Amino acid sequence: MPQQPPEPVAVTGLGVIGACGRGVAAMDRALREGREGVGALSLWQSSVGDFPVGQYRGELDSDLDSVPGLTPHLRKRLSRSDALTLVAAAEAVEQAGLGDLAAAGAYVGQSVCGTLTSEALYIEARSRAKVGNPEKVDLRGAFVHEGANTLDRLAEAWGLRGPTLSFMTACSSAANAIGLAADAIRAGRCKSMLAGGADSLSRIAFNGFCSLKVVSPDGPRPFDRERQGMMVGEGAGMLVLEDLRHAKARGAKILALLTGYGHSCDAHHLTASHPEGKGAVAAMREALEMAGLQPADIGYINAHGTATLDNDRTEARAISSVFGESAVPVSSTKRFFGHTLAAAGGVEAVVSVWALRHRLLPANLGLRAPLEDAKLDLVSENRPAPGLKHVLSNSFGFGGNNAALVFTEAK
């Protein structure tokens, strides 16, 4: 006997910040206008600064005014990643209309965390040492280095007393945080959760990807035959998830349902994914099974689609394996935001819910000549989808750590 799908979890709040600007409204404009997030690096001087990034251009200090309970003392203990998280979370919480979050928890996907601040401290210490300056560097800023700092600041701002965890599974971190937060709600550990991911730009991440020669000089072109690589980005995507009955009882506006989640590991290579995408296939099938859906039920896939040679080839093959060739519309939104690393699954979860609510599929910007490794129905420009009911969001990380989420329309 087939198992009954588990109870869906309600999505009642969305928050996003990144290269497209601050907030879902800014993201909406960018997606509709096809306005890419490709731009020059300005956070620091770099010898490889000619490579574009997906940088947030707004004023984070003033953006933080939207966060409740953020005292001047707490502001001093924030990394750039912390600030991005708090701003996105504030938008999601406001939309959800949850008055009391004392029993709520937070699961956040991260990787860079406070590295940008730690790098600045290191640079300052080295510069003083070179000139023989004996003055000690104030290392209190290093307190923001760990991902736990983000969770502490979230808990302080909203008085969270539920479970809080930081997930670091590379580029699948935020998707895993969302999927596992939904599991925590289904298990009865809490009625509501903040879930998503955040990462800021940092020298070590940016320089590292440049040294691997996987960064494109003109921005990413996902699933294009002539793709040259990724674009490192920064941002945050946060969701408010709730027990469905709890959300209905308080009269919340339910934006979408999280119905499926799959998580797998390729067990193939330390950094490379399996060439045939075996782990990605397993994650997508597990997400479909949890949602009680068949491949034909999915009306759109928001692909991981980093525009690197291997990732796009592998993901295309995996999608074709599960859904058949050209059976479902596919696009990657990496040229809008850049690859936001651990935040990617959170940002793209917001995009997926946006697609469901507006019955509109976002364009795969930068596409000129579709890849030939596997035939996909690539969305080259915004496409109306009047019958859209289910969306799959893929997030695949280093070493083949794979996560897939299924979002379903709220009836």
Contact 348, 318 (CB under 8 A): no
pLDDT of residue 309: 92
How do 360-361 and 383-384 pair as beta strands? antiparallel
Task: Give the class (CATH, top level) of 9-408.
Answer: alpha beta
Whole-angstrom distance, CA of residue 171 vs CA of residue 161: 27
Give the CA distances from residue 381 to residues 11, 203, 332, 395, 411, in Å, rounded to whole numbers and listed in that order. Answer: 27, 33, 12, 22, 27
Q: Which H helix or E strand runs over 208?
A: helix 203-211
- The conformation of residue 8, written as its DSSP 8-state character, comes to P
Query: Does residue 146 or residue 395 have the better pLDDT?
Result: 395
Above 90 in pLDDT, residue 73? no
End-to-end CA distance of the chain: 27
Whole-angstrom distance, CA of residue 140 vs CA of residue 34: 42
pLDDT of residue 198: 98
pLDDT of residue 387: 95
Query: Does residue 179 or residue 397 have the better pLDDT?
Result: 179
Whole-angstrom distance, CA of residue 145 vs CA of residue 81: 10
Phi, psi of 263 (to 5 degrees): -145, 130
- Can you list the alpha helix ranges (DSSP code H) found in 21-172? 24-33, 60-63, 72-75, 80-96, 115-130, 148-158
Whole-angstrom distance, CA of residue 80 vs CA of residue 272: 29
Give tens-digit pLDDT for 303-339: 999 999 999 999 999 999 999 988 899 999 999 999 9
Vertex 18 angle, CA 12 and 22, to 5°: 65
* Mean pLDDT confidence for 66-82: 90
Whole-angstrom distance, CA of residue 329 vs CA of residue 378: 6
Residue in the structure block whose two tokens are 């590991």:
265
Contact 318, 284 (CB under 8 A): yes
Q: DSSP per residue over 269-318, as a string? A: -SSPPPTT-HHHHHHHHHHHHHHT--GGG--EEE------HHHHHHHHHH
Give tens-digit pLDDT for 8-42: 999 999 999 999 999 999 999 999 999 999 999 99
Percent of the chain predicted with pLDDT > 70: 99
pLDDT tier, 97 (very low <50, low <70, confident <90, very high otherwise): very high
Above 60 in pLDDT, residue 366? yes
Q: Which H helix or E strand runs over 322?
A: helix 309-323
* Mean pLDDT confidence for 357-385: 95
pLDDT of residue 266: 85
Q: Which pTM does this prediction carry?
A: 0.96
Give tens-digit pLDDT for 175-211: 999 999 999 999 999 999 999 999 999 999 999 999 9
What is the longest distance spanned by two Cα atoms in the chain?
75
Other CB atoms within 10 A of residue 188 CB: 8
Whole-angstrom distance, CA of residue 264 vs CA of residue 280: 7
Give tens-digit pLDDT for 221-251: 999 999 999 999 999 999 999 999 999 999 9
Q: DSSP per residue over 194-236, as a string? A: EEEEEE---HHHHHHHHHTT-B-TT---TTBTT---B-BB-EE
| Residues designated as active site | 171, 304, 339
Give tens-digit pLDDT for 252-295: 999 999 999 999 998 877 667 777 789 999 999 999 999 999 99
140 CB-near residues (< 8 Å, 6+ apart)? none
Above 60 in pLDDT, residue 1? no
Residue in the structure block whose two tokens are 């027990």:
243
